Amino acid sequence: MNDTLGIALIGCGTVGGGVARVLLAHADRVTQRAGRPLELRRVVVRDPSKSRDPLIPLDIISTDIHAAINDPGVHVVVELIGGTGLAKRVVLDALAAGKHVVTANKALLADAGAEVFEAARRADRTVCFEAAVAGGVPVIRALGESLAANQVTAIQAILNGTSNFILTAMAEGGKSYADALAEAQKLGYAEADPTLDVDGSDAAHKLAILAQIAFGVAAKPHEIARQGIDTIEAIDIRFANELGYTIKLLAEAWTGGHSHSGNGAKLSRSGAVPAEPTVALHVAPVLLRHTDLLAQVRGAYNAVLVYGDVVGETLYQGPGAGQMPTASSVVADLIDLGVGRAQRTFAAAKLWSREDRGFTVEPPERVRSRFYLRLQVVDRPGVLADVTRILADEEISISSLVQHEAEEEGGGPVPLVVVTHYASTGRFRKALDRITRLPTTAAAPVFFSMGD
Ligand SMILES: NC(=O)c1ccc[n+]([C@@H]2O[C@H](COP(=O)([O-])OP(=O)(O)OC[C@H]3O[C@@H](n4cnc5c(N)ncnc54)[C@H](OP(=O)(O)O)[C@@H]3O)[C@@H](O)[C@H]2O)c1
């Protein structure tokens, strides 16, 4: 048998605990797949008195990050602390000490990918991060290796399981947003502070990483236009359903100067190489037809649809988080390092390097889409005419209108749903500003893109 690959686990919480379990409980399988033993030599935590998996020998647990990184028997440092402070220090120190790094930390890569990967290249070491996007779904390998013959033309993805769980509970259980969120928290799918999940930040981090692999663009998460699910009300779910649609929080990348349908999606989806090397990135709730593949992804699952110019459309789906699914991806990275595949792929991919692949990020105003717009309007003559005139001023035509009769007599505000034909986001927002200021508009308008 070849040389042992020594591993230091920095962080042994949810994911780290799962990684330790797979390495220790399935040592024979892992050794066979890697062609050499993978030895868990050190486990570093904040509080060594916490109870851990009984398979972890107590004498390898410590709080000494420095000693773990500099142990000559350690070849790979697995960073599973999370965050962008100490985690970044650990990763940079490990690379400087000549160790390969495996991480599940999307925030770190999205924020500091260029710095981390440059440090890796300087040290001639490898950084693996399959678990950083979509947990147990092997989408990093799919994009970087299996689809290497393609230019990716579009990505549409459900990358936040918490949001998808909430939207599923609203659509199928008829729950309000608040009740669905409370259920997600009770079942452990949502954190006590769910902000980063429901406001689209977490999905934006992951989209930034996918966009780097697929298009070579280094978009910072804050540069990605995003809208969360916290503005979605049960009434929107019902109207969407009535129109034949399901609402999903999507992270999307569209090449070729457009988004969603109209020319852009047809081009992107047909796999034609985009005439314009631009890519639009955004995270937002999108109305998908019930028959759309992504509309059928339920609960806390993740799914990534990738359109490639050679292959066409491919779909990757599975558990996007959780202890063992995430550990599955981390251990796959360790096995790839053991085999030596990861090193060669990493050297060839030149991720976050200055090598320009020609794509630039398109400003969100140019992205074209159809829109669902829900207004709360005072029920009196002329309201509809005002709204249609403002949309017409921006050359936006209406595809359908839904208005139910007021439940009570007396002219209180009633919901009015307008579905538009294709329009640029910029022009739609201009119209929206004016509609918001109409004296008959009784509440802030709610709007979402349509996925067709
Ligand atoms: N959880 C998931 O489903 C999931 C999925 C995909 C990716 N990820 C990513 O995986 C990473 C880890 O997440 P997690 O959920 O496993 O986190 P976690 O359960 O909070 O575990 C964090 C670990 O880091 C240790 N730690 C924290 N501060 C430390 C310090 N100063 N020195 C030494 N150790 C320290 C903690 O020690 P103690 O045990 O002593 O507290 C704990 O073992 C994050 O980047 C996250 O984004 C998580």
Domain 5-132 of CATH type 3.40.50.720:
yes
Q: Do the annotations mark residue 11 as ligand-binding?
A: yes
pLDDT, mean of residues 228-243: 94
**Amino acid 265: pLDDT:** 47
Please state, for a pLDDT cut of 70, what percent of the chain lies above it: 94
Show Cβ contacts of residue 41 under 8 Å, excluding neighbours closer than 6 positions. Answer: 6, 7, 8, 60, 71, 73, 74
* Tokens read off for 95: 């690379």
| Residue to probe by mutation, ligand 1, list 15, 108, 162, most atoms within 8 Å of CB | 15
**Structure confidence by residue, pLDDT tens digits, 135-181:** 999 999 999 999 999 999 999 999 999 999 999 999 999 999 999 99
DSSP helix/strand/coil, 182: helix
Q: Do the annotations mark residue 10 as ligand-binding?
A: yes
**Amino acid 406: pLDDT:** 65
Q: Which residues, listed in sequence order, are joined to residue 103 by a DSSP beta bridge?
A: 79
Q: Tokens 């009434």 — which residue?
A: 235
Examine domains 139-320 and 367-450 and report if their fold is the same. Answer: no
Domain 139-320 of CATH type 3.20.19.10:
no
CB-ligand 1 contact for 86 (6 Å cutoff): yes
CATH architecture of 367-450: 2-Layer Sandwich (3.30)
Report the separation in Å between the CA atom of 209 and the middle of ligand 1, taken as the mean of its atom positions: 20
Residue 262: band (very low, low, confident or very high) from pLDDT cuts 50, 70, 90: very low
**Amino acid 318: pLDDT:** 97
> Is the pLDDT at 407 greater than 80, yes or no?
no
Q: Which of 102-116, 366-380, 429-443 is predicted with the least confidence, judged by mean pLDDT?
A: 366-380
Report the separation in Å between the CA atom of 105 and the middle of ligand 1, taken as the mean of its atom positions: 9
Report the separation in Å between the CA atom of 102 and the middle of ligand 1, taken as the mean of its atom positions: 14
Report the separation in Å between the CA atom of 104 and the middle of ligand 1, taken as the mean of its atom positions: 10
Spans of all domains in the chain: 5-132, 139-320, 367-450
CB-ligand 1 contact for 15 (6 Å cutoff): yes
On the CB side of 138, CA atoms within 13 Å amount to 13
CB-ligand 1 contact for 274 (6 Å cutoff): no
**Residue 16, Cα to own-chain centre: how many angstroms?**
21
CB-ligand 1 contact for 16 (6 Å cutoff): yes
Whether 206 sits among the annotated catalytic residues: the reply is yes
Cα-Cα end-to-end distance for the chain: 55
Pairing of strands 301-308, 38-44: unpaired
Radius of gyration from C-alpha coordinates of the chain:
24
DSSP 441: B
Of 88, 99, 206, 248, the catalytic one is 206
**Structure confidence by residue, pLDDT tens digits, 270-281:** 445 556 689 999
pLDDT, mean of residues 226-251: 95
Helices (H), 295-451: 323-339, 341-349, 383-393, 425-437
